[in-house]
Amino acid sequence: MATRIFKIYTAPQWERRVSLGHLAWAPVDEADGFVHLSALDQVLTTANKHFARQRDLVLVEIDPAALPAQSLRWEVSRSGDRFPHVYASIPLEAVLDHWEFPDGDPGFALPAAILPPARRIGERLHPIP
Residue-wise pLDDT tens digits, 17-26: 989 999 999 9
Angle ∠(57,59,65) on CA atoms, nearest 5: 150
φ, ψ at 95 (rounded to 5°): -80, 120
Residue-level pLDDT at 18? 85
Q: Are 62 and 94 in contact (CB under 8 A)?
A: yes
| C-alpha to C-alpha distance for 43 and 87, rounded to whole angstroms | 20
Determine the pLDDT at residue 104: 66
Which superfamily does 5-127 belong to?
Protein of unknown function DUF952 (3.20.170.20)
pTM of the predicted model as reported, rounded to 2 decimal places: 0.84
Q: Is the pLDDT reported for residue 106 higher than 50? A: yes
> Higher pLDDT residue, 127 or 113?
113
Mind listing the pLDDT tens digit for each residue in 36-81?
999 999 999 999 999 988 889 999 999 999 999 999 999 998 789 9
Strands (E), 27-69: 35-36, 38-39, 57-62
What does the domain layout of the chain look like in residue ranges? Answer: 5-127
Q: Which of 50, 60, 62 is nearest to 100 (CA)?
A: 60
* Residue type present at position 114: I
Residue 20, helix vs strand vs coil: helix
Query: What are residue 125's phi and psi, to 5 degrees?
Result: -95, 135
Mean per-residue pLDDT, 101-118: 78
Q: What are phi and psi of 12, to 5 degrees?
A: -65, -40
Residues in the chain, overall count: 129
